[in-house]
Chains A and B, each alone.
Chain A
Amino acid sequence: MSVATSKPLGAARRWKKPPFIKRPLLRWGLILGALIYLVLATASIEVNWLRVYEGLDRGWRFVLAFSQPDFISRWTDIREGMIESLVMTVASTVVGIAISVPIGLGAARNIAPLPVYLICRGIITVSRALHEIIVAILMVAIFGFGPLAGFITLSFATIGFLAKLLAEDIEDTDKSQAEAIKSTGGSWLQWINYGIQPQVMPRLIGLSMYRLDINFRESAILGLVGAGGIGATLNTAFDRYEFDTAAAIIITIIVIVMAAEYSSGVIRARMQ
């Protein structure tokens, strides 16, 4: 019953993976269009090579400063900025998570009724539409300079991130596990606690750790618009052309981000 002998030689049937876009004209048109756009777009970028040449020197001084970062002369400022940033980060992450969890539950279509769903999705959309810097400028305008504005900004930004991803994870949960808990006659809260929470907990913890990371990095930026934290110190250092102090601050930020990255990796690995 060999298949090969049933066909005459030379009549082997060819097979090719069907193309993603079926119509050849459209397919080649899109490819060509993308190439033309790429060439035109690249050509439209103006580069002032003279300016680059001058700038290289400045850049080099900046890089050199990294070889001799100055932690000493502004140490008090750096330390205070760091502590402020860390406090802002931790506080805003905790508050952000506390607000995100109920909103995330409400924004999951499989467990929330439609009106609640729409409201929660609306909150998430607003939070995601506004960039941290814009929110921070607004908050500084309302609350004045300082870490309070940064704390509120980061809490608000955390909601858009965490609630959205939590809601999506809830929507991906196994329906039968939740159905089984529902069939025992438990209340809504018990249903969430037994049927949903175990399924989303590892991801919630992973996302929270990740958000802690992001919030710290963001807190370094928010200082540039006056929302407190290490960013303010960094900004001052740049304004005074103290590149060695700026280098010290950036190195400290990198070390802390790496430490956070490493520990969140360890925690996530342990959570399965």
Chain B
Amino acid sequence: MLQIKQLLKRYPTGDLALQRVDMAIPKGQVVALIGPSGAGKSTLIRCVNRLVEPTSGQVILNDRELTKLNSNALRVARRRMGMIFQEYALVERLTVMENVLAGQLGYVGFWRSFLRKFPQSSIDEAFRLLDRVGLEEMIDKRADELSGGQRQRVGIARALIQDPELLLVDEPTASLDPKTSRQIMRLICELCEERNLAAIINIHDVALAQMFVQRVIGLRLGEIVYDGPPTGLQPDVLTEIYGEEDWQATIEKVDEEDEEEAAAAAVAVAVVVEEGVGS
């Protein structure tokens, strides 16, 4: 459904962020994109909806070439690509409801959105989504009154009300505690399954990625160095992606995930351990 061909991005500073990346993602597949900071993960997903303009190469969503679209056609195409951000990127002075309805901006005219007179169907959908992510009580709160986990739930609802075919998710858990991180990852993956959505999730936390996704792509210096199932992330692969480090603890932790949390906490160095199994 999503095809990326020979995607190359060179920033004006001369940095080559993406070096002819190729990938294809079928409908309904959730992919984790891992790699060290500066590997080009953020650039890659922003090149898909052209928040960052790619230098060359093609991005094809459902047979439509996104890299060639003019600005109006791009707006139409962006409606079907929901995006979830690291620091939530909610408009802080707007209410939860306004933030969610902002996901409908591509579908309604300026005056309707300016007067906050959204169609009833949009409002119904917003209520449904807020129920689904567990924020039915928060509708008229301002976004900056919410906790990190709640904000990210609003961010998820905003992306989903776009009725997307593809989710672009940029470090959804980087600002969250370990327990909330898992809840958010679980929620995103569940929703993708319910709606048969494809998703690219940039994520730093390898163990967390392994728990939830079917496929992992490893990026290093703008090149794909691993593409396969999460179980294939052996120490040599992680070394290839991130560089030399003791990876044993990270991998063991995932293996023992369902067995005993005390043991896991003892061996693991990764941050995720604190939380345990039950949540």
Listed by A's residue number, 15 A-B pairs whose Cβ atoms lie within 8 Å are A176-B85, A179-B51, A179-B85, A180-B90, A182-B51, A184-B79, A184-B158, A186-B105, A186-B106, A194-B98, A194-B102, A194-B105, A198-B94, A199-B91, A202-B93
Q: Does A183 contact B (CB under 8 A)?
A: yes
Whether A180 contacts B75 by the Cβ 8 Å rule is no
Cβ-based interface call for B173 (8 A) = no
Residue pair B91, A198 in contact (C-beta under 8 Å): yes
Known: A184-B102, A184-B103, A190-B113. A176 touches B87 (CB 8 A): yes
Q: Is A45 an interface residue (CB 8 A)?
A: no
A178: min CB distance to chain B, Å: 9
Q: Does A193 interact with chain B (Cβ within 8 Å)?
A: yes
Measured in the bound complex, the distance between the Cα atoms of B143 and A199 in whole Å is 12
Q: Would you give the 0/1 interface string for A158-184, flagging 1 where the beta carbon is closer than 8 Å to chain B? A: 000000000000000010110111111
For residue B215, CB closer than 8 A to chain A, the reply is: no
Residue A101 CB within 8 A of the other chain: no
Closest to A181 in B: B102
Q: How many chain-B residues does the 8 Å CB contact rule pick out?
A: 31
Q: Which residues of A contact B113 (CB under 8 A)?
A: 186, 190, 193-194
Pick the contact of A184: B78, B86, B98 (CB < 8 A): B78
Expressed in whole angstroms, the minimum distance between the Cβ of A56 and any Cβ of chain B is: 55
Interface check B76, CB cutoff 8 A: yes
User: How far is it, in angstroms, between the C-alpha of A182 and the C-alpha of B158 when the chains are bound?
Assistant: 12
Task: List chain B positions with a Cβ less than 8 A from chain A.
Answer: 49, 51, 75-79, 81, 83, 85-87, 89-94, 98, 102-106, 110, 113-114, 155, 158, 162, 168
- Interface assignment of A201: CB less than 8 Å from any CB of chain B: yes
Task: Give the shortest distance, in Å, between A124 (CB) and chain B (any CB).
Answer: 26
A189 part of interface (Cβ distance < 8 Å): yes
Interface string of A246-259 (1 = CB under 8 A from B): 00000000000000
A207 CB to closest chain B CB (Å) equals 17
Q: Is A187 an interface residue (CB 8 A)?
A: yes
List residues of chain A with CB within 8 A of the CB of B85: 176, 179-180
Residues of A participating in the B interface, judged by any CB pair closer than 8 Å: 174, 176-177, 179-187, 189-191, 193-195, 198-199, 201-202
Chain A residues with CB below 8 A from B103, complex form: 184
Give the dominant DSSP class at B's interface. Answer: mixed
Q: Is the CB of B106 within 8 A of A177?
A: no
CA distance A130 to B62 in the complex (A): 58
* Closest Cβ neighbor of A175 among chain B residues: B89
Min CB distance B3 to A, Å, is 20
- Alpha-carbon gap, A194 to B114, bound state (A): 8
Q: Does A185 lie within 8 Å of B162, measured CB to CB?
A: yes
| Contacts A184-B102, A185-B75 supplied; 6 other A-B pairs, CB < 8 Å | A176-B87, A177-B91, A177-B92, A180-B89, A180-B155, A185-B78
| Contact present for B91 and A185 (CB under 8 Å) | no
Which one of A185, A189, A195, A199 lies within 8 Å of B110 (CB-CB)? A189
Residue of A whose beta carbon sits closest to that of B114: A193
Point out the residues of chain B lying under 8 angstroms from A180, CB to CB.
83, 85, 89-91, 102, 155, 158
Q: Which residues of B contact A184 (CB under 8 A)?
A: 78-79, 102-106, 158, 162
Closest 10 CB pairs of A and B: A185-B106, A186-B105, A185-B78, A180-B89, A185-B79, A198-B93, A176-B89, A183-B83, A185-B75, A190-B105
Q: What is the minimal beta-carbon distance from B85 to any residue of chain A, in angstroms?
A: 6
B73 to chain A, nearest CB (A): 11
Residue of A nearest to B110 (CB): A189
Q: Say how far A196's CB is from chain B's closest CB, in angstroms.
A: 9
In angstroms, Cα B85 to Cα A195, docked, is: 15
Contact of A183 among B49, B76, B87, B93 (CB under 8 A): B49
Q: Which residues of B contact A177 (CB under 8 A)?
A: 89-92
The distance from the CB of B108 to the nearest CB of chain A, in whole angstroms, is 8
Could you tell me the distance between the alpha carbons of A176 and B75 in the complex, rounded to whole angstroms?
Answer: 18
Per the bound structure, the CA–CA distance linking A261 and B125 in Å amounts to 46
Residues of B within 8 A of A190 (CB): 105, 110, 113-114
Known: A176-B87, A193-B114. A183 touches B92 (CB 8 A): no
- How near does chain B come to A142, taking the closest CB pair, in angstroms? 38
B279 to A: closest C-beta gap in Å = 27
Distance A186 CA – B112 CA, assembled complex (angstroms):
12
Q: In the complex, what residues of B have CB within 8 A of residue A198's CB? A: 91-94
Assuming the contacts A187-B75, A194-B105, asked whether A181 and B83 have C-beta atoms less than 8 A apart, the reply is no
Known: A176-B87, A194-B91. A183 touches B110 (CB 8 A): no
Q: Which residues of the other chain, B, contact A187 by a CB distance below 8 angstroms? A: 75, 105, 110
Complex Cα gap A44–B106 (Å): 68
